[in-house]
Amino acid sequence: MTTAPPRLAARRTIVLDRPLRLECGAELPDVRVAYETWGTPAPDLSNAVLVLHALTGDSHVAGDAGPGFPTAGWWDGLVGPGRVLDTDRWFVVAPNVLGGCRGTTGPASPAPDGRPWGSRFPRLTIRDQVAAETAFANTLGVGRWAAVVGGSMGGMRALEWAVTHPHRVGALFLVACGAAASAEQIAWCATQTHAVRGDPGWHGGDYHHLPPDAGPWRGLGLARRIAHITYRSEAELQARFGRDRQPDDAPPGRYAVESYLDHHAAKLTARFDAGSYVVLTEAMNSHDVGRGRGGVADALARITAPTTVAAVSSDRLYPPAQQRALAATIPTAGPLRWVDSPYGHDGFLIELDQVAPLVAETLAVTRARAA
C-alpha cells in the first residue's frame, strides 16, 4: 500500500427533490445529504464506489482534519492514487448518514419552521437511511454502484443496500457487522441512550438553543465511555493499562484506563451531537434484514453481488459468529475473511494493512465482471 496522499476531496450537499417517507409513517421534507467524493467519475458513473461510515463517523473518509472535520479521515490509508480505493480509477463517494450531524439532516438541523428538529425528529431505521442514500444516488445519477463498502453501522447499510437493491450493487464488502442486531447489542445501545436521556441537559431532546455547556454532554460522554469499552478487547485494555494509576497530577486514585475513557468521551462530546447519537444508535437497534422478508435467510438470498465478509478476530461487540453466519448464508459470498487484531471491534478502523487487501479482493471481482 503506497503512502501517496489522496486527491483533494470535493465536499458537497444535495437536497432531495421530494420528502422522504419513513418506515414510522412520518415524512421528512427538504432532506439534505452532505457528502464527499474523491477521484473522477466515468462518463457513465460505472466506476462509482459507495463507502458507508460507522456510528460516529462521517463523510470524511480520507484527508487531514480541517474546517467541519476535527479529525482526519477514518479510512485515510485506503483512499488515494495507488491505494486500494485508487482515485485514478475509482470515483469514491461517501455520504453522511441520515440523522447525523455533519451536514446531513438530523436532530440539530432546522425543521421547516426554522427551529431545530430536536425532539420532533422522527425515529429512523437502517432502511430509512438506505432510502435516503438511494434518493441521493438517484440525484447523483448513479444507477449502479461498482461496489458498496461498509463496516459496523456502515456494514448494516451496505447489507441493506444489497438486499433491497440487488441490481444496483456490483460487489459488496462487509466487515464487523451482522444480519440483525442481537439482544446484547440492543442492550448495549439502550444503556447508552438512557445515559444521554438521563442527563438533565437533555431537555427532552430540545437543547439545541442552549449554550453548549448546558446541553447533555455529560450523558453523551458517559454513553461514549460505555461504547468504547465494547469497541476494544479485554486483552488489549489489560495489556495497555492493567491496574496502573495516573501520575500524581491526576485526580487521586484514578486508574489509567479511566483516563483513557475520559479522553475518548471528551473527544466525542467536542464534535458530535447527542441527539444524533440517540437517533443513530436506535437505528442500529432496528437493523434486521429479515424483517418483513420471510426471515434472514430469505432476505440474504436476494443478494446477487459477489460478497466479501470479514470478521475482526477479537471483536466482542459484533463477534465473528455473526460474520461467519453471513458468509455461510449469502449465496454469493466467498469464505469468511479475517482481520487478526487485538483491538476488538475497532480493528476494522486500525488494521488497514489487513483491511486493504480484502477491499481489493472485492474490487477485483467487480473489475473482472466489467471486463
Task: Tell me the pLDDT tens digit for each residue of 316-340.
Answer: 999 999 999 999 999 999 999 999 9
Single out the residue in 225, 258, 282 at which a domain terminates.
Answer: 282
Number of structural domains found in the chain: 2
Averaged pLDDT for residues 17-26: 97
Single out the residue in 234, 255, 282 at which a domain terminates.
Answer: 282
Query: So what's the pLDDT on residue 2?
Result: 35
> Residue 102 sits in a domain of what CATH number?
3.40.50.1820
Single out the residue in 267, 282, 297 at which a domain terminates.
Answer: 282
> Residue 242 sits in a domain of what CATH number?
1.10.1740.110
Report helix, strand and coil shares of the chain as percent, to nearest 5: 40, 15, 45
1 inside domain: no
> Exposure string (b/e) for 248-270, b if CB count within 10 Å is 16 or more?
eeeeeeeebbbbbbbebbebbbe
Integer Cα distance of 296 and 236 in angstroms: 33
- Report the range of poorest mean pLDDT among 23-37, 178-192, 354-368: 354-368
Question: What is the domain extent for residue 90?
Answer: 10-184+288-370
Q: Active-site residue numbers?
A: 152, 315, 345
Do 265 and 195 reside in the same domain of the chain?
yes
Do 117 and 224 reside in the same domain of the chain?
no
Do 149 and 41 reside in the same domain of the chain?
yes
Q: Give the helix/strand (H/E) hosting 132.
A: helix 126-140
Task: Give me the percent of the chain exceeding a pLDDT of 70.
Answer: 95
Do 157 and 117 reside in the same domain of the chain?
yes
For residue range 70-116, list pLDDT tens digits in order. 889 999 999 999 999 999 999 999 999 999 999 999 999 999 999 99
For residue range 184-202, list pLDDT tens digits in order. 999 999 999 999 999 999 9
Is a pLDDT exceeding 60 seen at residue 1? no
User: Ramachandran region of residue 295, left (φ > 0), alpha (ψ -120 to 50) or beta?
Assistant: left
Query: So what's the pLDDT on residue 253?
Result: 79
Residue 33: DSSP 8-state: E
**Reported confidence tier of residue 252, pLDDT bands at 50, 70, 90:** confident
Is a pLDDT exceeding 90 seen at residue 366? no
255 inside domain: yes
Do 171 and 204 reside in the same domain of the chain?
no
With contact defined as beta carbons under 8 Å apart, do 275 and 208 qualify? yes
127 inside domain: yes
Query: So what's the pLDDT on residue 103?
Result: 95
64 inside domain: yes
Integer Cα distance of 310 and 345 in angstroms: 12
